[in-house]
Amino acid sequence: MSSVAELFLSIFCGFAICCLLLGIASSSSSSGGRFLPMKPSSSSAAAAVTGAQEEESAAAVQQNGGGRQGLIAPDGGALLDLHVAAKDKDAKTAEASTLPQIHISKVDMEWVHVLADGWASPLRGFMRQHEYLQTLHFNCLRLNDGSFVNMSIPIVLSITDEQKEVIGAASAVTLVAPTGTPLAILRNIEIYAHNREERIARTWGTTAPELPYVQEALANSGTWLVGGDLEVLERIKYNDGLDNYRLSPAELRAEFERREADAVFAFQLRNPVHNGHALLMTDTRRRLLEMGYKNPILLLHPLGGFTKPDDVPLEWRMKQHEKVLEEGVLDPQTTVVAIFPSPMHYAGPTEVQWHAKARINAGANFYIVGRDPAGMGHPTEKRDLYDPEHGKLVLSMAPGLERLNILPFRVAAYDKTKSSMAFFEPSRAQDFMFISGTKMRNFAKEGVKPPDGFMCPGGWQVLVDYYRQLQENELQTV
Amino acid sequence: MSSVAELFLSIFCGFAICCLLLGIASSSSSSGGRFLPMKPSSSSAAAAVTGAQEEESAAAVQQNGGGRQGLIAPDGGALLDLHVAAKDKDAKTAEASTLPQIHISKVDMEWVHVLADGWASPLRGFMRQHEYLQTLHFNCLRLNDGSFVNMSIPIVLSITDEQKEVIGAASAVTLVAPTGTPLAILRNIEIYAHNREERIARTWGTTAPELPYVQEALANSGTWLVGGDLEVLERIKYNDGLDNYRLSPAELRAEFERREADAVFAFQLRNPVHNGHALLMTDTRRRLLEMGYKNPILLLHPLGGFTKPDDVPLEWRMKQHEKVLEEGVLDPQTTVVAIFPSPMHYAGPTEVQWHAKARINAGANFYIVGRDPAGMGHPTEKRDLYDPEHGKLVLSMAPGLERLNILPFRVAAYDKTKSSMAFFEPSRAQDFMFISGTKMRNFAKEGVKPPDGFMCPGGWQVLVDYYRQLQENELQTV
């Protein structure tokens, strides 16, 4: 193995967050852990456990995702859809034009999308104070029947003093997209103080500067939050050629039904898929079959909202994922690729709960978790921001996620003896090469071909193209 | 009313954290709140709800606090006592002398006391990582039966690299008091990383400098935490003349039984008691009698561990509390005064949960909460560190505290028309004087007599004496 290959492998540390492989039984958890996958029979039983939400509501509700018995029930028992009904659209649009207007940011709009589709069910809109406080302190919300659903990330809308003044005593406001289009009515609003320092400290476990989401969405945010019930006027489109991938939880459930899935395993990612990931996913399916499931379906679910500037942009990741399926690395028959519209917090153990909880609402009853999920380097210190083991530990103990089967996975690396990605075996450590990879960008810019078996050639070419055009753009800028 | 009286009243802002009065039904909570006091019948029912802890253990366990049906069951179903049995003491003491020794601080020793007495039941010692993570992220611990107990404050023991090296591969260590006395064995230990930044951010909701507990206990703490099962060699004594007030939860339960209490309402404080507090406490008892309880007992429960330097020290507070009972402001027949040995975090909504949870273990089924419990000013900004309303909101929604009746109370102030403390009535705001009180120290130093009805004369004299000797000491130091 040449030093070129070694260099190549070092590239992928940027992607190494997911560069790990499945080991269902393996776990570094203490007694608090909960990594026992359920048998198929428990899966449908779990759906019955969820009590129906007692609260009556005007929002459109689709019982159990229109669902077949086999899929896990959504949080709160019913999947919410916060779009206005077609018959009401004209009247609501007319009403929206009469209400105080709040212009929202791109990230806020991504949250409107998340809420509208029911990813955060049973949340009916931006959080009111009692929800916000439960999220900050307990990472879960208590329902009327006393049970908990997980909710670890504050989904809140900030407003400025000036915007608060515009709202005055109104009980409803219209949310307006950055393009100027009225998006939604927020009704029965509650305005409360936005203590950014406390929100950041409790969500990220640090107040270090340069947290990407904080810079993007909080640094210039208002000192108030406004919560309420959302009525979204129409489905949010991005017109980037990828809208057909933005399936709602209800649409995903329908697709899983159509495929007669009896298990759905979700893989959250915000990075290109290499053969280590692919091995993990195919191995998971093999294990689920061994457990007695007849048709486990993979939800390959890249995150589509805000990501930090040095992540690979969504459009390039989607091109890369397409190649992975085209070239047969993953089986299109048993894989659904869709975009998860949430913005990224990079809040580690806190955020991984949100990533898992949202996928329950889309019908996933298995969730794959690796090293340092939703983590990143500390902004000011030379260390990971989060202990890389905490994510899966916290996920395994999180209130409201009891019904979800957590699948932790072992580290994978390039096995030099097999010229492929494989589970790392400490007993023959010398055969493996770990991907240490801040060098990745430099390497990709040089267009060096990766060692065989690391990534499908078409997928790799997408990355080479991405870094080439990035470099060209940078040169043009200079 | 003279400006002297006004000045006097302004004094008490230092004490104003508790300068509030009961209003059971009143609440600014939204739908998430839970402020409905139970009827007496529910009280014993609540005790039955708690499932027995399935876990077997060598630690001494006193079922239901040796308890009468009427008292609320302790968290986890059984009250722990982590002191070694008398018959084992010699053997354990001998063993302790053979183990690696960890010298602990005064605050650490206060936590050993808290754990040993069972205030933190069902915790069996300093937290292991899975408990620590649940506390940081969820403010509660999941028991084996799937139920939750509240646990909002990390009870952890930090060690340095050097201490970790001394421990080596040992599975048990001896904890040694600052005086050099071996205190306890910590067994089946687990050592894990101590990320102070994350602990502070998630516990306090800020990483601002000069948080009192952080300065006292964390600033120079080690980079590791060690958890395990505690075996405490003998009861911890302070030899300050107050040890007879340091009743354990089991002793308090026995006292409540002896008095045939059918309700116990706890009042946590770290400040002198004025007549506003007293009115609150007597009014609570009146309301509980109205609700049908025959013999509600007040647990007046000053905090006895670490407090910040500008709080009134424990010995002076205890002198003051004695006067309040001697002079009949509170009725000794229906009041138990005891010291809660916990150190103070000043962590607001996070800490108030700990204050409430610990009192469940002592048999209290009602907990009185005011404005900004466990709060303080922001160390670097001109504002309260916490929203003063958040404490009672968070407490009312906290997982694991469902069995506890939360009694929020209304603001009290000095009613000039009655020359006494009374519920503040916004409709005649001009009749009341609020206690704004950083001026308190200056005033008390001048020895000005308070207006009639503000505090019993003997209690006030204690404070005058305290500030006089403080001033004298300061002069001597200069």
Interface of A with B (CB under 8 A): 29-33, 128-131, 133-134, 136-140, 142, 146, 148, 152, 190, 193, 195, 197-198, 201-202, 204-208, 349-350, 386-387, 390, 393-394, 397-399, 402
Residue A4 confidence (pLDDT): 35
Mean pLDDT of A212-239: 97
* pLDDT on residue B393: 97
Contacts of A133 (CB under 8 A, 6+ apart): B32, B349, B390, B393, B394, B397
Are the C-beta atoms of B183 and B112 separated by less than 8 Å? yes
Nearest residue to B150 via CA among B298, B376, B392, B361: B361
Whether A401 and A262 map to the same domain: the answer is yes
Are A62 and A142 members of one domain?
no
* Contact: B387, A32; criterion CB under 8 Å: no
**Nearest CA distance, A385 vs chain B (angstrom):** 9
Task: Give how far B211 is from chain A: nearest CA, Å.
Answer: 14
Residue numbers in B near A190 (CB within 8 A): 30
Please report, for the domain that includes residue A340, its CATH number. Answer: 3.40.50.620
Q: Closest Cα of chain B to A208: distance in Å? A: 9
Q: Mutate one of B138, B389, B401 to test the A interface: name it (highest A CB count within 10 A).
A: B138
Residue B288 in any domain: the answer is yes
Burial of B105 (0-12, 13-18, 19+ CB in 10 A): middle
Give the DSSP letter of residue B285. Answer: H
Give the integer Cα–Cα distance in Å for B140 and B344: 19
Task: For B162-179, give the DSSP string.
Answer: HHHHHHTT-SEEEEE-TT
Instruction: Classify residue B19: in a domain, yes or no.
Output: no
Smallest CA–CA distance, residue A452 to chain B, in Å, is 39
pLDDT of A160 higher than 60: yes
Q: Which residues of B touch A189 (CB under 8 A)?
A: none
Assigned domain for A217 exists = yes
Give the minimum alpha-carbon distance from A150 to chain B in angstroms, rounded to a whole number.
Answer: 10
CA of A431 vs chain B CAs: smallest distance (Å) = 30
Output the pTM of the full model: 0.87
Statement to judge: residues A361 and A305 lie in one domain: yes
pLDDT score, position A1:
35
Q: Using an 8 Å CB-CB cutoff, list chain A residues near B349.
A: 133, 137
Q: What span, in angstroms and rounded, lies between the C-alpha atoms of A341 and B136?
A: 28
Q: Do B133 and A394 touch (CB under 8 A)?
A: yes
pLDDT tens-digit readout, B262-297: 999 999 999 888 888 898 899 999 999 999 999 999
Q: Single out the residue in B371, B406, B441 at which a domain terminates.
A: B406
pLDDT, one tens digit per residue, over A381-416 is 999 999 999 999 999 999 999 999 999 887 778 898
A330 with A419, same domain?
A: no
A321 assigned to some structural domain = yes
* Terminal-residue alpha carbon distance, chain A: 37
Is B96 in the same domain as B125? yes
Number of structural domains found in chain A: 3
Two tokens at A202? 């409790």
pLDDT of residue B2: 37
Question: Residue A443: which pLDDT band, with cuts at 50, 70 and 90?
Answer: low
The partner residue sitting opposite A138, judged by closest CB among B142, B208, B399, is B399
Look up the ipTM and state it. Answer: 0.87
Contact A30 B128 (CB under 8 A): yes
Do A105 and A216 have their domain in common? yes
Strand partners, B298: B265, B335
Q: Do A443 and A308 fall within a single domain?
A: no
Cα A446 versus chain centre, distance: 32
Whether B317 is in a domain gets the answer yes
In a domain, A93, yes or no: yes
Query: Are A157 and A33 in a shared domain?
Result: no
In this structure, what CATH number is given to the domain that contains residue B217? 3.10.400.10
Q: Are B353 and B398 in contact (CB under 8 A)?
A: yes
Query: For residues A433 and B193, what is the distance between their CA atoms, to the nearest angstrom?
Result: 27
Is a pLDDT exceeding 90 seen at residue A34?
A: no
- Are A138 and B139 within 8 A, CB to CB? yes
* A93 and A212 housed in the same domain: yes
Tell me what percent of the residues of chain A surpass a pLDDT of 90: 70
Nearest to A30 among B129, B137, B206 (CB): B129
Chain B residues touching residue A56 (CB < 8 angstroms) = none
DSSP state of B215: I
Residue A409: per-residue pLDDT: 82
Instruction: Please say if the pLDDT value at position A477 is more than 90.
Output: no
Specify the 3-state DSSP secondary structure of A357.
Answer: helix
At A110-156, the pLDDT tens digits run 999 999 999 999 999 999 999 999 999 999 999 999 999 999 999 99
CB contact under 8 A, B138 and A399: yes
Query: Is the backbone peptide bond immediately before B302 cis, with ω within 30 degrees of 0?
Result: no
The amino acid occupying position B68 is: R
Could B205 and A128 be called an inter-chain contact, meaning their C-beta atoms sit closer than 8 Å? no
- Whether residue A122 has a cis bond before it, omega within 30° of 0: yes
Contact flag B399-A398 (C-beta cutoff 8 Å): no
User: Is residue B369 domain-shared with residue B314, that is, in the same domain?
Assistant: yes
Q: What is the least distance, in Å, from the CA of A149 to any CA of chain B? A: 12
**What residues of A are in contact with residue B129 (Cβ under 8 Å)?**
30, 393
The tokens for A388 are 């890389």
Assess contact for A39 and B141: CB atoms under 8 A: no
A192: closest chain B residue by CA: B387
CA torsion A23-A29-A33-A38 (nearest 10°) is 10
Chosen domain end from A388, A406, A424: A406
Q: Give contacts of B386 with chain A, Cβ < 8 Å.
A: 198
- Partner residue facing A134 (CB), from B142, B207, B397: B397
Q: How confident is the model at residue A445 (pLDDT cuts 50, 70, 90)?
A: low
Are B248 and B160 within one domain? no
Domain extent at residue B330 = 29-75+242-406
Task: List chain B pLDDT tens, one digit each, 478 residues.
Answer: 333 333 333 333 323 222 232 333 333 333 333 443 334 433 332 222 222 233 333 333 333 344 335 899 999 999 999 999 999 999 999 999 999 999 999 999 999 999 999 999 999 999 999 999 999 999 999 999 999 999 999 999 999 999 999 999 999 999 999 999 999 999 999 999 999 999 999 999 999 999 999 999 999 999 999 999 999 999 999 999 999 999 999 999 999 999 999 999 999 999 888 888 898 899 999 999 999 999 999 999 999 999 999 889 999 999 999 999 999 999 999 999 999 999 999 999 999 999 999 999 999 999 999 889 999 999 999 999 999 999 999 999 999 999 999 998 877 788 989 988 898 899 999 998 875 444 455 566 677 777 788 888 999 899 889 988 988 887 787 6
- For residue B171, being part of any structural domain is answered with yes
Nearest CA in chain A to B197: A206
Which residues fall within 8 angstroms of residue B388, CB to CB, at 6 or more apart?
B371, B372, B375
Average pLDDT value for residue range A191-206: 98
Domain for residue B292, yes or no? yes
Q: Which residue has the tokens 């509600």?
A: B296
- Residues in A closer than 8 angstroms to B32, CB to CB, are 130-131, 133-134, 142
In this structure, the answer to whether residues B124 and B215 fall within a common structural domain is yes
Coil, strand or helix at A407: strand
Is residue A446 within a helix (H) or strand (E), and if so which, with residue range? Answer: helix A440-446
Q: Write down which residue in B213, B232, B251 finishes a domain.
A: B232
CB contact under 8 A, B138 and A134: no
